[in-house]
Amino acid sequence: MRVKHKLLKEYPLQGRKTLIIGTFNPDVACNDAEFFYGRAKNFFWRLLPEVFGKESLKGDVQKQKEFLMQHDIELSDLILSVEMSEKDICSYGDDKLKEVIEWNTPNILKTLSKGKTKEVYFTRKSFDKNVQNIRDEIYKIKEFCDKNGIKFGFLPTPSRFYSEKKLQEWRSAFN
């Protein structure tokens, strides 16, 4: 079954100072996220505001959007659409994203080539054999950034749990 991204048409890349890239936000009934990183077990909206000395914005989409504008940050994902089996449709593991139909990499590179973006972060640090395709795509973006003087960093995934160690790694990456 072909699954498209839930948010990218509504929130196209603009070319802000900071770009944070995730993997995929499926447009399926079991995904109740209203915005990027909006699932219950994702702590992005606690981590990112804390990096800037702010309180958690988890669950408040309007304040999340205001925060992004205030800090000149935009969000995107690496995958536009993927082929998934019915049984995996509600699984949010990146290891289920093997049969990518359409990557967002060309759109990301086009936006980066405009020269407005100064730093790019990807919300994943490790790549096992199950996500080699994701690694290959993100390294195309990293290579572009390296060649064009754009800071590139890997952030620990905001999924699954929050920890002080994770927060410190995020703070170190942004400073």
The closest of 45, 25, 28 to 162, measured between CA atoms, is 45
Q: CATH number of the domain that 156 lies in?
A: 3.40.470.10
The closest of 119, 131, 129 to 157, measured between CA atoms, is 131
Number of domains present in the structure of the chain: 1
- The pLDDT of 96-121, averaged and rounded, is 90
Point out which residues pair with 83 in neighbouring strands.
Answer: 2, 99
CA distance 53 to 98: 37
- The pLDDT of 36-55, averaged and rounded, is 94
Q: Structure tokens of 126? A: 């490790």
CA distance 105 to 22: 12
Domain that holds residue 46: 2-174
pLDDT tens track for 116-173: 999 999 997 655 555 568 888 999 999 999 999 999 999 999 988 899 999 999 999 9
Check residue 84 and give its pLDDT: 73
**Cβ–Cβ < 8 Å for 41, 141:** no
DSSP structural state of residue 40: T
